[in-house]
Chain A
Amino acid sequence: MNNLMWTAGRCLRSGSAAFFLSRPVDGGVRLASARLLCAASSDIQKDLGEMVKKDKVVVFMKGTPAQPMCGFSNAVVQILRMHGVDSYAAYNVLEDQDLRQGIKVFSNWPTIPQVYFNGEFVGGCDILLQMHQNGDLVEELKKLGISSALVDAEKESK
């Protein structure tokens, strides 16, 4: 309880006035935890706004590219690797619960992993996979000034 009070206090001091009421499936209403208060706090949202723009490709994932801790996060890493995208910003949400909740609020997207290109939200694992399969990913990387390794490999084989 003390931890909850401290967390709530930290968020209130940072200027957040928002709070959430979550409605479980049975129709009751309960006050969301202080972690949700923190997730919406202007500090974290501001930080995220900068984080997604600092690098061309940004991934919020579970684990790291070297050691993913989730099959879906790993799929994103593998797809990017196939296209030769090895240099990108990867943030491990398992290390920071405020980040984990904050990015869900920031993107208005409920799950991890989350992918950003040039500060714009692309989607999660499913979307990246479909973009890879239908060729859109090559085009989107081109717009970022990144030449996909798959295109280069195809050119070399001709």
Chain B
Amino acid sequence: MACRQFWASRAASYLRLSLFNRTFSSVVKDLKYCDSHEWVKVDGKSATVGITDHAQDHLGDVVYVELPEVGKSVTQGESFGAVESVKATSDINSPVSGKVVEVNEELNSSPGLVNSSPYKDGWIIKVEVSDSGELNNLMDSEQYSKFCEEEDSKH
């Protein structure tokens, strides 16, 4: 991420372009996103949830992930667990409602997967979705990218 920013800023400087404080965080096209920076990949009634590249970048090195119990109910927009980074615990909120059917146990020994592979190996929970209609409340990748840009530009 730092490398991309370095070359982008060099290019911008050469071309005499203004460089806004852009995140350069990555998004994945077919996922859905919520405004608390979690993503969800839906496959029928099954959903995989994690936090976005924007979130992991802003959180810093994740040293611990508090995972929910399998079988726990989750509700769209509400907290189901937490990550710890830089002396802070930060809530992870569910983009969907349903029941937790699997948690990523790898995160117990390798919490840094959330940073290094937020959309793949750093997935956090899998959910049996109870209301597919709720997906309409979420952003697509373009909307989420714009949302992140707007958030970062305000600060």
Please say whether chains A and B are actual partners in one complex: no
